[in-house]
Structure 1
Amino acid sequence: MPAGGRPGAGGNPVAGARFHVDPTSDAATAARNLRATAPADAALMARVAGGSAARWFGDAEPAVLTARVRAHVSLIRAAGALPVLVAYGIPDRDCGSYSAGGASGPEGYRAWIAAFAAGVRGSPAIVILEPDGISLVDCLTPTGRQARFDLLRHAAGTLTDAGATVYLDAGNAGWHSATETAARLRAAGVDQTRGFALNVSNFDDTASEVAYGRQISAALGGGVHFVVDTSRNGRDRAPDGAWCNPPGRGLGVLPTTQTGDASVDAFLWIKVPGESDGTCNGGPPAGQWWPEYALELARRAA
């Protein structure tokens, strides 16, 4: 089973990994419930349920976080698959917007990351580190930005030392220039990880993200690998660039390590398709299951 890796450490550390499809997911449960009354919708929902989505961990207290992470990792490993986890607990998360929350301060976050790392220690796992963590530093003061970078560097090293294959979130091609993103990744400790993640919870087409990732890797000196979130990018981004529950989007390609590009370690479903981005476009609060949106994604799948 693949183990952790840093840039330049050799071949793809997740090559050949099998990803776990959760039979108890919201989508799987909805598909079963729809079979008797709406078989066509049940078939669509089964398409959502058939993808292996990452498990997000956010606001749990350190006292319980280790046990929760360890239990999830053990479940996936027992099935012979590679866990894909998202660490989402940075202070001032999402600039206080739809997904506001996170640790109360630097010391709280260090304790939180230590607890997370304890949960994955000894078991191979992919960890996507802090979606939007570097892309949203513009809402912070200069002192706050440096504190954010310091915390991310600490988290990157802690998780990598625990054996995880860590990808530091880097936003998407429609946000910051590759040069700017590379500078932020460098400040946030990408050198202590396998590489970076693109398009998390967004809708940009895969080809654009791969091209953007290559530009970032080159700006970092070359050889830095990345993964792309394909969970909802089957129809590209919305014409107006909306990121919060835009209509007309579709599921992208299923998770795989067969990407056809040596720079791209995997295509992953990091965002859980069918979970809301926030209370926009008719959606429930961020992270809540929204079956109507899930069905729309399936109807318009790539």
Structure 2
Amino acid sequence: MKRRTTVTIAAAASLAVVGAVTQSLVGHAENAAPTAVTQAAVTRAADTTVTAAAVKGLPKTMTFYVDPKSGPATWVSQNKSDSRAATIKAGLSSKPMARWFGSWSNDIKPAVNVYVTAATKKKKAPILVAYNIPGRDACGGHSAGGAQVSEYRTWIKNFAAGVGKRRAVVVLEPDALADFNCLTTAQAATRQKLLTYATEQFHQSAPNAYVYLDAGNSNYATATAMSGRLLKSGLKNIRGFSLNVSNYHTTAEENAFATKLNAQLRKRGSATKPYIIDTSRNGLGSNGVWCNPAGRKLGVTSRVNQTPTAKTPEARLWIKTPGESDGNCGIAPNAAAGVFDPAIAVGLVRGK
């Protein structure tokens, strides 16, 4: 689920974690949108709990759901006698993080509905990732796959219907807009049409969901290139964009990129958009290695920004599941993408 951070900006300008064997097949390539205030207000008009102030940022009281079947939680429940279990439970499995959905999720509408319902009963916001775009992880390859073009529209329509009118945070197709240098012109055009369709489905069927179209990271494409891709992929229909999904770049680096990206959106006649950053593994930043690098550390846990500005994210979230492998590489050469590895997990907790 992670992409190469070694790709140069020039190459990226010409430019998709899949899951756990457990529940999310998430291991995506290295990384792969609010509408104007008036549009955001319309989008969430059905949710009477959302105030006008909330439109300017996620509700400050919003807290996130702890997935009881995440990779770390599943490993801890199955390995209670392991000396690492207490560390992983305290540092990872007790924290809120995203659940990834793809072909492994079986019938997508009930799968999403069950998860969102469980979170709603706890009065928490679930974080969900849609990760099933055709040609997924075209550049990284470790999480390659995705639906067929003929199947994707039905799949994403049912995903949005599964969320329904409940409040949720949804990250839409990590890496999908960062993989363009590994797609033909025709494939890129088809992908943007599919993403536009996806944003339309959430706009219509999940009006209270905060949906973010993935925009890769600061090392993948120029702000000029990415702004154009976002606008051609339905950004106007949803809340905002996501950055650093499954990657290691610092929050400061991604904030700087987001500022440039929003400036380019303005130049193209668009309103600026709120954004979120994946902080699951960026506690020490990147060392230039994108696939299971050594010596990385957990970033701040999932939380809403209490004082959002135009140059800061409205939330920092654990989108990638910490401890799940990026692929058969780095410090986990025998762990396929999405497989939970306790050694990776403990390393992230300790920053070693």
Same fold (TM over 0.5): yes
Distance 2:88 2:164 in 1: 37
| 1:231 aligned onto 2:275 | no
Distance 1:13 1:205 in 2: 21
- 2:45 equivalent in structure 1: none
Select between 213-222 and 75-84 the one with higher mean Cα deviation. 213-222
The 3 A distance-change label for structure 1 pair 14 and 58 is farther
Deviations 1:207-233 (A, max 9, x none): 111111111112111531100000000
- 1:133 equivalent in structure 2: 176
Kept in 1: contact 2:72–2:88 (CA 8 A): no
| 1:181 aligned onto 2:230 | no
| 1:255 aligned onto 2:302 | yes
Q: Of residues 266, 287, 292 in structure 1, which corresponds to 2:343?
A: 292
Distance 1:300 1:259 in 2: 27
The 3 A distance-change label for structure 1 pair 288 and 254 is same
Kept in 2: contact 1:14–1:265 (CA 8 A): no
Deviations 1:218-268 (A, max 9, x none): 211153110000000001001xx2111111110000111025432321000
Aligned AA for 2:108? L
Kept in 1: contact 2:325–2:335 (CA 8 A): yes
Kept in 1: contact 2:224–2:264 (CA 8 A): yes
Kept in 1: contact 2:34–2:212 (CA 8 A): no
Q: What is the DSSP-based 3-state SS (H/G/I as helix, E as strand, rest coil) of the residue aligned with 2:170?
A: strand
Q: Of residues 177, 187, 198 in structure 2, which corresponds to 1:144?
A: 187
- Identical columns (%): 39
- 2:28 equivalent in structure 1: none
Aligned AA for 1:135? A
| 1:200 aligned onto 2:245 | yes
- 2:46 equivalent in structure 1: none
Deviations 1:178-226 (A, max 9, x none): 1111111111111111010000000000111111111111211153110
Aligned AA for 1:289? F
- 2:25 equivalent in structure 1: none
Distance 2:243 2:171 in 1: 10
Distance 1:119 1:69 in 2: 5
- 1:111 equivalent in structure 2: 154
Q: Of residues 93, 98, 104 in structure 1, which corresponds to 2:136?
A: 93
Distance 2:102 2:274 in 1: 25
Distance 1:150 1:12 in 2: 28
Deviations 1:75-110 (A, max 9, x none): 0111100111000111011117111111112x2110
TM-fit CA distance, 1:20: 1.3
The 3 A distance-change label for structure 1 pair 61 and 75 is closer
Kept in 2: contact 1:28–1:46 (CA 8 A): no
Q: What is the DSSP-based 3-state SS (H/G/I as helix, E as strand, rest coil) of the residue aligned with 1:119?
A: helix
Select between 224-233 and 18-27 the one with higher mean Cα deviation. 18-27
TM-fit CA distance, 1:70: 0.3
Q: What is the DSSP-based 3-state SS (H/G/I as helix, E as strand, rest coil) of the residue aligned with 2:242?
A: strand
Select between 292-301 and 148-157 the one with higher mean Cα deviation. 292-301
- 2:167 equivalent in structure 1: 124
Select between 8-17 and 140-149 the one with higher mean Cα deviation. 8-17
Q: What is the DSSP-based 3-state SS (H/G/I as helix, E as strand, rest coil) of the residue aligned with 2:303?
A: coil
Distance 1:33 1:103 in 2: 31
Q: What is the DSSP-based 3-state SS (H/G/I as helix, E as strand, rest coil) of the residue aligned with 1:196?
A: strand
Distance 2:34 2:204 in 1: 10
Aligned AA for 1:233? N
The 3 A distance-change label for structure 1 pair 115 and 41 is closer
Q: What is the DSSP-based 3-state SS (H/G/I as helix, E as strand, rest coil) of the residue aligned with 2:128?
A: strand
Q: Of residues 248, 253, 258 in structure 2, which corresponds to 1:213?
A: 258
Distance 2:233 2:69 in 1: 36
CA RMSD of aligned residues (A): 2.1
Alignment length (residue pairs): 293
Distance 1:129 1:114 in 2: 13
| 1:279 aligned onto 2:328 | yes
Aligned AA for 1:244? C
| 1:76 aligned onto 2:119 | yes
| 1:49 aligned onto 2:132 | no
Distance 1:265 1:29 in 2: 30
Distance 1:287 1:29 in 2: 13
In the alignment, structure 2 segments of 5+ residues that lack a partner are 1-32, 41-54
Greater RCO between the two (CA within 8 Å, min separation 6)?
2
Select between 26-35 and 292-301 the one with higher mean Cα deviation. 26-35
Q: TM-score, normalised by structure 1?
A: 0.90
The 3 A distance-change label for structure 1 pair 87 and 32 is closer
Kept in 2: contact 1:45–1:298 (CA 8 A): no
Aligned AA for 1:226? Y
In the alignment, structure 1 segments of 5+ residues that lack a partner are none
Kept in 2: contact 1:5–1:13 (CA 8 A): no
